[in-house]
Amino acid sequence: MDENLRRGLEEIGRGEYFAAHETLEDVWRAAEPGEKDFFQGLVHVAVAWYQAGRGNRVGCERQLEKAARRLAPFAPAHRGVAVELLLLSVEQARRSVQEGSLELSPPFVASGEQPFGCSVVVWREGRRGREYLILHRRTPLGPDYEGEWAWTPPSGARTPGENPHDAAARELLEETGLQLEVAPASVGGDQWAVYVAEAPTAAEIVLDDEHDRFRWVTAAEAERLCLPATVGNSISAVERGLALTPGPDS
């Protein structure tokens, strides 16, 4: 992947939308005619989220429309980018703006290769036995929203060119401030990788701007709170696996 393309996508991932638009404009100008729409579509994505941050509803709407139109022919994936998933983010953002909110979830810029992203099921030994870390995502629906994707384990997209293990460790650090050894869990599917990590009992959680609170819960509570069911089920599956693993004194 072109280094400037990679840098622009990483800037989008960090929420540096103005910088991303400048970086990706350079890529667009140098591109062959057959790919110019793809790169310009990425520029529109960066500018749409930048305009949302400035409170410019009209500008954001126009950029989202242009992004969808220019990127659609390159779905499902192009240049290592999961275009189909990015278009879903654009559509979700468009609906949020139509409903009157400019508090947009970050665009889903993921690798075009499976797995598209990773979750890290973090557990610790607590007063009630094993407890699992779940995070509550900020949404335009407000802090009391408890529906789908409100509560999840630390998770996120795998950026183009990034291997799943590194993506899992990065998302864990960015979303919680934890640097832990992550290991593949024997759950999940081809599209999404699940990892597991043990945290010290007194581990300090430092949330990023995407989340507003966290909880340590039992596997049963996680299964109830983490929706859709596939999210909560992944934590329950890790719990069953840990229950079958002999301890150091066994």
Q: Hey, CA dihedral for 175, 180, 185, 191, is it positive or negative?
A: positive
More confident residue, 116 or 183: 183
In a shared domain, residues 15 and 75? yes
**pLDDT for the residue numbered 188:** 66
**pLDDT for the residue numbered 114:** 82
In a shared domain, residues 132 and 223? yes
In a shared domain, residues 149 and 224? yes
Alpha-helix runs per DSSP H in the chain: 3-13, 17-30, 36-53, 57-71, 83-98, 164-176, 219-225, 229-243
What total of structural domains would you count in the chain? 2
**pLDDT for the residue numbered 177:** 97
Residue 40's pLDDT band, with cuts at 50, 70 and 90, is very high
- Would you say 107 and 49 are in contact if contact means Cβ atoms under 8 Å apart? yes
- Proportion of the chain above pLDDT 90, given as a percent: 64
The tokens of 138 are what? Answer: 């900020």
For tokens 């508090």, what's the residue?
Answer: 103
In a shared domain, residues 122 and 228? yes
- Which of 48, 192, 69, 210 is CA-nearest to residue 143? 210
Task: Give yes or no for residue 17 having a pLDDT over 90.
Answer: yes
Q: Read off the pTM.
A: 0.71
In a shared domain, residues 219 and 129? yes
Q: Which domain holds residue 30?
A: 3-98
Give the model confidence (pLDDT) of 65-85 as tens digits.
Answer: 999 999 999 998 898 888 988
The tokens of 242 are what? Answer: 């840990």
**pLDDT for the residue numbered 43:** 97
